[in-house]
Amino acid sequence: MPETPSPIEPSRQEQRELADPHESYSPVPKSVLALVAVLIVWGFYYITQAPINIPSELGDGRTVSALGGKKAASGGAADGAAVFSANCAACHQGTGLGLPGVFPPLAGSEWAQGKPETVAAIVLHGITGQLTVKGNTFNGAMPPFAAQLSDAEIAAVLSYVRSQWGNSAPPLTAEQVGQVRAATKDKASPFDGDKELNALK
């Protein structure tokens, strides 16, 4: 009968080695699964119950009309500072200094303090192309505001600009803006920077 071979004893080096790693299974605690289920159910409930026909308002309670230049209770005058904050400050900054090389300043600007008819026309129809302000050249674009702002709002914001940051030009009236709007009603594109506006200085 053949002899059964004896098992080979592991060497001392093999005995020092650790066992091969293997994947273990740790189930997710039931409390965590319950919490996830509750959150999913609450999410569906919230989505189905959330009103979708609320008028569009900002979270701080200001309405769109307030941002576009709130009318005063007496006299219906537009708030020039509010109109500026809502429509102009993003580019020209709250300081009126603009952004160097990008957006021209209004502080000390010969355009902002220039002829009332010219500055009103600029706001009504906007500008594209190269424009020189205080000796510096800017090559950007200003959108037209004829469709967004009323004559009273344009007069208010221009009067505000012409009296801030050291500017000292006379205010504009809604009647003046209305006259410029009527006189330039056929203009279908923004002013071509210095090329068109220098003639209106």
Give the CATH number, domain containing residue 96: 1.10.760.10
Instruction: Express each pLDDT in 79-110 by its tens digit.
Output: 889 999 989 988 898 898 988 888 899 999 89
pTM of this prediction? 0.61
Residue at 44 is within a domain: no
Mean pLDDT, the chain, whole residue set: 81
pLDDT at 18 over 90: no
Residue at 31 is within a domain: no
Number of structural domains in the chain: 1
Which pair of tokens denotes residue 107?
């502080």
% of the chain with per-residue pLDDT over 70: 82
pLDDT band at 54 (very low <50, low <70, confident <90, very high): low
Residue at 91 is within a domain: yes
State residue 58's pLDDT score.
47
Residue at 21 is within a domain: no
Residue at 122 is within a domain: yes
Provide the residue range defining the domain that includes 69.
65-200
Q: Which amino acid would we find at residue 157?
A: V
Span 122-140, average pLDDT: 88
Residue at 55 is within a domain: no
Residue at 107 is within a domain: yes
Residue at 175 is within a domain: yes
